[in-house]
Structure 1
Amino acid sequence: MSTEADVETDAPEQPTWSRWVIIGGTLLAVLLIGATAGMFLTRTIDDDPAAATPVAGSVEVGFSQDMSTHHLQAVTMAGWARDHSTDPEIRQLAFDIERTQLEQVGRMKGWLMLWDQPEQAIGAPMKWMTEPMAGHDGMAMGTSSVNPGAGALMPGMATEAELAKLRSLSGKELDVYFLQLMLRHHQGGTAMAQYAASHSSMPALQALVRSILTSQGAEMDQMKLMLSGRGAQPLP
């Protein structure tokens, strides 16, 4: 006669592939929810006949295009860490970053759709920034340093070589390098968000910027503690 313990022991475990399918579906749903929310909030919060629709080259359009691209690299790095790290703390942080930034990307892509603007900027990034930007260390970053020409990276973005290195690592080395790259990535994104906040009066964008600064601020503090706990320092 089988006991309750026997039944629990014989119960099949959920396949790994099934778990990742569920996670992938969840992240896709988050992206779609963000897009829907972005379009809804823009229609309601900014429902002002006198308000002009943002045009190409504006802070609103440029920020939405560039920050979406910036966020998607963070999502890519976080997805890799979530799938390849064996540290539960790293995997949870990576999933949180994926979920938060995909929702924010959804909002921005929803706006761009409403404004009839392409999802990506044409040409070099950061053209919407016409004044010097303060870096994460408080130093002024002139527009020439963030927009030197086509192919230039936005603040905090990882290079192809750095991404390749991340994919080549495992164990503690993977965890530390992921934290270092993501911390720098968040710092660059924070500077971009602060610039947009001070150069746009669009309520929906202001709300998004507050969300970015709140979530990334908390994650940066967490990543600094996690690096310290692993005997490592942020990238110079």
Structure 2
Amino acid sequence: MTQAQAGWIAGAAAAVLVAAGAITYAVASDGEAAEVPAAESADAGFARDMAVHHQQAVEMSYIVRDRTDDEEVRRLAYDIAQTQANQRGMLLGWLDLWGLPKVSAKPPMSWMGMGDAPSEGDGSLMPGMATDDEMAKLGELNGKAAEIYFLRLMTDHHKGGIHMAEGCVERCTVKVEKDLAQGMVDAQQSEIDLMADMLAERGAKAR
């Protein structure tokens, strides 16, 4: 790990701690802490699954940051890493606040009625997530090739994230969590549009 990368990770970790504390206070001050969701509720399921989903987006962003010198792509990767690390801290903070486990015996997406979908065992745990092979390939590419591959992977990742966030907007009961989910939908759709333009500038398009 380079010194720059270590600094970036440390910054993201600090942001997560701040965000988790802030959101815990927000939930408690709204009086919602008294109504703890069930362990297998949509609220808990979304928090667990989106935390995992976000973690991969952060990892992808770290990888491409070191595979290209393009400032536009590096800036996008930085923004995604910071945003999703912060949101991941919020999601895990809720689970701590509610006294609920961060893992479930049920398959991912069960809270959306998707837990029975067959798994290919390739590392793609949820819709939009990159496979183990795709993550490895991203780490092998450089320059324009890495940029295009990252933008394609992240576009797919955002589409899967939007699908899950829309599920929370529909099913979750904690208002602050529903608001965060709607914010994810809006922000990630905006980034999908931006990435489409970035891919076009590089003579490519989403998969």
TM-score by length of 1: 0.80
Q: Structure 2 residue aligned with 1:52, among 24, 35, 38?
A: 35
Find the aligned partners of 1:176 and 1:203 in 2 and give their Cα distance: 37
Find the aligned partners of 1:202 and 1:220 in 2 and give their Cα distance: 27
1:54-95 CA distances to partner (integer Å, 9 max, x unpaired)? 111100000000000000000000111112211111100000
1:7-50 CA distances to partner (integer Å, 9 max, x unpaired)? xxxxxxxxx73x444423321111111211221121112x158x
Structure 2 residue ranges without an equivalent (≥5): none
Q: In the alignment, which residue of structure 1 is the partner of 2:9?
A: 24
Shift of 1:164: 1.0
Q: In the alignment, which residue of structure 2 is the partner of 1:12?
A: none
Q: In the alignment, which residue of structure 1 is the partner of 2:155?
A: 183
Structure index of larger Rg: 1
Contact 2:61 2:77 in 1 (8 A): yes
Q: In the alignment, which residue of structure 2 is the partner of 1:147?
A: 117
Structure 1 residue ranges without an equivalent (≥5): 1-15, 131-142
Are 2:97 and 1:127 equivalent residues in the alignment? no
Shift of 1:148: 2.8
The percentage of counterpart residues that share the same residue type is 39
**Stretches of 4+ aligned residues off by more than 3 angstroms:** 19-22, 149-152
Q: How many residue pairs end up in the alignment?
A: 204
Find the aligned partners of 1:164 and 1:69 in 2 and give their Cα distance: 18
Letter in 1 for 2:194: Q
Aligned-CA RMSD value: 2.0
Shift of 1:233: 1.2
Find the aligned partners of 1:127 and 1:150 in 2 and give their Cα distance: 17
Shift of 1:111: 0.4
After TM superposition, list the pairs within 5 Å mapping 1:37-76 onto structure 2: 37-45=22-30, 47-48=31-32, 52-76=35-59
Find the aligned partners of 1:58 and 1:21 in 2 and give their Cα distance: 36
For the structure 1 residues 206 and 93, does the alpha-carbon distance in structure 2 shift closer, same or farther, using more than 3 Å as the test? same
Q: In the alignment, which residue of structure 2 is the partner of 1:159?
A: 131
Contact 2:166 2:182 in 1 (8 A): no
TM-score by length of 2: 0.91
